[in-house]
Amino acid sequence: MMYHYYTTLAVVGLPKDCAEAVSKMPPLKGFTRETNSYDKLADVPKADRRKVNMIILSDDSPWTKEELKARHDEGVYIMLCTSRADKIDIEVIDMLLEIWPLPLTAELARHGFRRMQRRVKADKDAWIIKNCLDIVIETLPDMVWFKDMPGCHLKVNDAFCEAVGKAKEEVTDKFHNDIWGYPKPGEEDGAAICHRSELKVAEAGHTCLFDEEINHAQRGLCQLKVYKTPVYDENHDVIGTVGIARDITRERESQEKILNMARTDALTSLSNRRYFYEYVENHRGKKPLTLCYIDLDHFKELNDTHGHQAGDAALLSIAELLKITFPNDFITRLGGDEFVVALFDEADRESVTQRLNILNKVAHDFFSLSPSLSMLTMSIGVAMDLTGELPLDTLLQQGDDALYYSKETERGTCNFYDDVKDKTEGRLDRDK
């Protein structure tokens, strides 16, 4: 047993055989008992609140209502043996655990006291269970609540109160909207959302997991993993739910950061080659797709002459120019000094040409401002798939072929694959 209680039993005015029968009964598990007999209630010592105190009192001994009330106020379990139960004041009855009839036999005394001990044990078991439950839910950093099926919050922990910014007395026995606030016009009722999930839990008959968002009183918008479990009565009917909500906001943020690092080029913060394939395949559908394959001319010479810091600065500059020129399009650094801009649902060659001409002009003007970058130009190859059916690798290769042609014929220019495909067939060596 987790607990052990020391019990005092005061037998007042009972027949000798009844008093002996009671005193010889063994205490229940978890209890130690000391039994003493007294002639009148006034002789019984004041109760020790660190112990479980019980009194079996006979009407054959003198007592007053005031004396009984004093014992009741001390938290004593009182059993009254009387032959005039019909004449007992209702205030006295309210102070009694049970009433035994007189005359009393030893067997009735044993039976009554056995029931009395079980009642005391049931009270202590219930207190221990409640105390353990309180300790557990208050120890948890997660929000915990117990609700009945109509949605009333019967019990919550401190973490729940912190989340709503209210004290327990403001939350206990309250419904969702009373705690979290009523929805604004156009917003879905949070109470209705919760009720739907609780009906789902009751129907499922087991713990269910939900993703929810709350506006935490201290931390703002938080993402939660919410576990809801049905609570049953003795007939296995669902009478409520217990909910546990774990704040996974930081975990999600960490996951997003890790995922972003896996998808992003470390230098330019553009998408990397790996994510290029994933993103384009997931977003292209069966619509037109245009790829603009961009490469810096004389980049190796820049690195050799001015060092890799100058090269990195050039790549960062190109990344920013691409973001400015193509603010709503998907930009990728494939590696080295190679970039690709994916234009979804773009079938207008004239529009693409105009935007690339702007990019080349802005880049030329920018490079001219720095002596170290003035040698740089951009060569571009464009591949267009108007059907949306061409494999991505094939379209990317076409853009590379057109880029290769630009670098081989006149650097700093832009060519469309459809215009030069006959001139690039059979070229396997693409040393740029």
Tell me the per-residue pLDDT of 133-157, one tens digit each, with 9 for 90 and over.
999 999 999 999 999 999 999 999 9
Q: What secondary structure does DSSP assign to 367-415, as a single string? A: HHT-TTTTT-EEEEEEEEESSS-S-HHHHHHHHHHHHHHHHHH-TT-EE
Q: Which long-range CB contacts under 8 A does 142-146 form with residues at least 24 apart?
A: 142/244, 142/245, 142/246, 142/247, 143/224, 143/243, 143/244, 143/245, 143/247, 144/242, 144/243, 144/244, 144/245, 145/242, 145/243, 146/231, 146/240, 146/241, 146/242, 146/243
pLDDT of residue 427: 55
Residue-averaged pLDDT of the chain: 91
Tell me the per-residue pLDDT of 69-125, one tens digit each, with 9 for 90 and over.
999 999 999 999 999 988 899 999 999 999 999 999 999 999 999 999 999 999 999
pLDDT of residue 432: 42
* Residue 346 banded pLDDT, cuts 50, 70, 90: confident
Instruction: Give the mean pLDDT of 199-217.
Output: 91
Q: Which residues contact 324 (CB under 8 A, 6 or more apart)?
A: 362
* Residue 1 banded pLDDT, cuts 50, 70, 90: low
Instruction: Give the mean pLDDT of 261-267.
Output: 90
Q: What percent of the chain has pLDDT over 70?
A: 98
Largest CA distance in the chain: 124
Tell me the per-residue pLDDT of 159-175, one tens digit each, with 9 for 90 and over.
999 999 999 999 999 99
State residue 262 phi and psi, 5-degree precision: -70, -25
* pLDDT at 388 > cutoff 60: yes
Instruction: Give the mean pLDDT of 320-346.
Output: 93
